[in-house]
Amino acid sequence: MAVDLLLGLQWGDEGKGKIVDVLTSKYDIIARFQGGPNAGHTLVFNDKKYVLHTIPSGIFHDNKINLIGNGVVIDPVILNKEIEKIKNEVSNISESLFISRKAHLILPTHRLIDAASEKSKGKNKIGSTLKGIGPTYMDKTGRNGFRIGDLENDNWQNKYKELSKKHQQLISFYNVELNFCLAELDNEFFEAIKELRKIKFVDSEDFLYKYQEENKSILAEGAQGSLLDIDFGTYPFVTSSNTTAAGACTGLGVSPNSIKDVFGIFKAYTTRVGSGPFPTELFDNYGERMSKVGQEFGATTGRPRRCGWLDLVALKYACRINGVTKLMMMKTDVLSGFDKILVCTKYKYKGEIINNLPYDLSDETLEPIYEEFKGWSENLRNLRNSDMLPENLNNYINFLEKKLNIPIVIVSVGPDRKETLFR
């Protein structure tokens, strides 16, 4: 059976976790394909809020397989804490959660390298979550990585110590002051490994292929957003993995021709955490209201998110490079009560009008060009049918569908599962 793919189309925090949770009932397997504990997928149901960083968002559903793919980097300490927080809701984690042997492990020294590197940049910092993601992927591409499968070898601690020693030399190179006790970090890591080994390790590419042969349905879950892709995002203010559709193939071992639907998630407006270009960012009352009503704080870092109008140029770009077949618009309820809604449809760049993303999105000459729409005042959170959406909101949705030439099949009007309208 074909693999469906779900990913974010902006700078992350689009609401992927909620939608995976909503869609999980239709699938047998939920497979996370990239990123690490820098992700924060928020799920709300039964008046409770859960934030997942590494575990796939289908974990709360019975009789579902949840796979952490080879493209994911795993911090065993964070993963164990994550399991501890949800164990009362998920009684069979050891039976429903699987990890690819080819997934790379985040060592404590990876986090220290991350912190030292970011500190050394001063004002030019890129806004790292300091989770050790980048250094782990660097070791992966540098062929120095420590993988899940290595834990099955008797001498894995020797490999750990050798890599840790290399990292310590690199940390000293940055010549910055860090406060840490490596012995304590090592002990914490070793204890976490004991718990990690209770989870089943698999060869994920073969694992998924067999399920495909059995006609099982698979949903591939991405992390972060397309505009943070290492190749196609706003470099260098990006993450260290491929967050676009191509990352599902390399991060799970599924073939490109097995991908069927690509579900693209976007907010009705735009947000960004940390540094980097943001053409439609607002510094007025509209931006302040988006932040307050939308509770725009990073699920992983707690940092406030920058807010702005929807950037249709960037969204169209993300749809194109991902081959999006269906769209899902999130946090629509946040815009209720706005007297007007603006959408960036073009840029003015170096004296010209363009409708594509330029190489340097931070160029000071770039200005967004907006189209204006009437807002809506209705409270959307009590709606349970898309036929009840206000006329002005429907006009907004219809405009986006026409410009993107892709149907918007879900409109989210609140954080809870039940606040999800299908069109």
Alpha helices in 63-105 (DSSP H): 76-86, 93-96
Q: Let me know the angle formed at the C-alpha of 8 by 206 and 59, rounded to the nearest 5 degrees.
A: 50
Q: At what angle do helices 156-174 and 182-196 cross, to 10 degrees?
A: 140
Helix (H, G, I), strand (E, B) or coil at 32: strand
- Show Cβ contacts of residue 158 under 8 Å, excluding neighbours closer than 6 positions: none
Q: Which residues of 267-297 are buried (b: 16+ CB within 10 A; e: fewer)?
A: bbbbbbbbbbbbbbbbeeebbebbbebbebe
- Looking up tokens 């898309």 gives 386
Q: What share of the chain is helix, strand, coil (3-state, %, to 5)?
A: 35, 25, 40
Cβ–Cβ < 8 Å for 295, 304: no
Catalytic residue among 4, 13, 139, 229: 13
| Beta-strand runs (E) in 46-192 | 48-52, 65-68, 73-74, 97-100, 104-105
Active site residue 13: yes
Helix (H, G, I), strand (E, B) or coil at 239: coil
Catalytic residue among 41, 104, 110, 167: 41
Nearest to 167 by CA among 182, 148, 156: 182
d(CA 220, CA 240): 19
Helix (H, G, I), strand (E, B) or coil at 52: strand
What residue type is assigned to position 161 of the chain? K
**Which residues are known to be catalytic?**
13, 41
